[in-house]
Amino acid sequence: TDHYAVVGNPIAHSLSPRIHRAFAAQTGEDIRYEKQLVEKDGFAEFARNFFTASGRGLNVTVPFKLDACEFADELTERARAAGAVNTLAKQDDGSVLGDNTDGAGLVADILHNLHWPIRGKKVLLVGAGGAARGAMLPLLGEEPALVHIANRTMQKAEQLVAEFAGHGSLNGRGAQNSRGSQNGCGALSAGGLEFFPGGFDLVINASSASLGGELPPLPPEIIGPGCKAYDMVYGAEPTPFMRWARDCGAEVADGLGMLVGQAAESFALWRGVMPQVAPVLAQLRTELQ
Ligand code: ATR
């Protein structure tokens, strides 16, 4: 039996053990998966001991994703771009690989569970913290027509745009901010929450506002015709952002599918088999209600 765990602080309410045990049952993989509370300054020591003592892989959640990034011997491209690691995997040579499956989980949920298109669409990403950064590379990989990043602190949105201006489908097209200065066609752009360059097809809330029951002060005009709105946060009730977007006429979804999706990507990295997300997501959804 191979040993896995999810590490965080707090960790009591993590759904990851349920998700991974369901994946294991579904695929016939023989694994043990626990949750582990670790002191705020204790990640590296815990991880070192875990992998020395035959642990095969860790999921890493708040506040340890940067510690995990430093701990890894080697990073995948998407982990390097995210600057954060949510999955550690022991490799055959004994070294530990760091990956970030959050963005892939988001994109998989949008495309394969919700059946919302991304290719050729106008996408608004709200927030410019760790969650937004992790979504950038997988999102750009789907070749949206444009991605605009709106953040309460506009400077952080501009930083993110500058960092990703050379990536993916927006390669070489440059970046602009909503004040109008630009150095290309502006397919990747940044602004504050009050600014917007038109209605969007897909709005993704990657800010942590929903965690505090708050709503980023966005103008209703961002919700274009047929708009879809996604909140990375999930819960038994719709978030304030989801209620607001629904009132503006958007189709809405929460981040439970992203949670199961990132777990599936981690499981696939560890076990070499991709589990089915839909039945596990449906089961969790009924348990959450
Ligand atoms: P995470 O890892 O969840 O992304 P983070 O890196 O601390 O957490 O980033 C939080 C993001 O949510 C930031 O973009 C933050 O905006 P600022 O850069 O201006 O701080 C955004 N955010 C948090 N609370 C918010 C609120 N009440 N309204 C709007 N944006 C909010």
Atom of ligand 1 nearest to the CA of 132: 4
Residue 243 Cβ contacting ligand 1 at under 6 Å: no
Domain boundaries, the chain: 2-100, 104-256
Instruction: Based on the residue annotation, tell me whether 65 is a catalytic residue of this protein.
Output: yes
- For 61, list phi and psi in degrees, rounded to 5: -125, -175
Residue 207 Cβ contacting ligand 1 at under 6 Å: yes
Q: Domain 104-256 belongs to what topology?
A: Rossmann fold (3.40.50)
Same fold, 2-100 and 104-256: yes
Residues 6 or more apart from 40 whose CB is under 8 A from it?
Answer: 9, 63
Sheet of strand 122-126: strand arrangement: 175-177, 188-191, 146-150, 122-126, 200-205, 223-231, 251-253
Residue 214 Cβ contacting ligand 1 at under 6 Å: yes
ipTM of the complex: 0.97
Residues 46-82 have pLDDT tens digits of 999 999 999 999 999 999 999 999 999 999 999 999 9
Domain 2-100 in CATH: superfamily?
Leucine Dehydrogenase, chain A, domain 1 (3.40.50.10860)
The predicted model scores a pTM of 0.94
Q: How far is the CA of 78 from the centre of ligand 1 (A)?
A: 21
pLDDT tens for each residue of the chain, 289 residues long: 999 999 999 999 999 999 999 999 999 999 999 999 999 999 999 999 999 999 999 999 999 999 999 999 999 999 999 999 999 999 999 999 999 999 999 999 999 999 999 999 999 999 999 999 999 999 999 999 999 999 999 999 999 999 998 775 453 344 444 443 333 344 999 999 987 667 999 999 999 999 999 999 999 999 999 999 999 999 999 999 999 999 999 999 999 999 999 999 999 999 999 999 999 999 999 998 8
With beta carbons less than 8 A apart as the criterion, state whether 20 and 33 touch. Answer: yes
Cα-Cα-Cα-Cα dihedral sign, residues 36, 40, 44, 49: negative
Atom of ligand 1 nearest to the CA of 156: 18
Residue 127 Cβ contacting ligand 1 at under 6 Å: yes
- Radius of gyration for the alpha carbons in the chain, expressed in angstroms and rounded: 19
Pocket test for ligand 1, best of 64, 100, 152, 234 (most atoms within 8 A of CB): 152
Residue located via tokens 């040993």: 3
Residues 137-183 have pLDDT tens digits of 999 999 999 999 999 999 999 999 999 987 754 533 444 444 433 33
Q: Determine which one of 35, 40, 65, 90 is catalytic.
A: 65
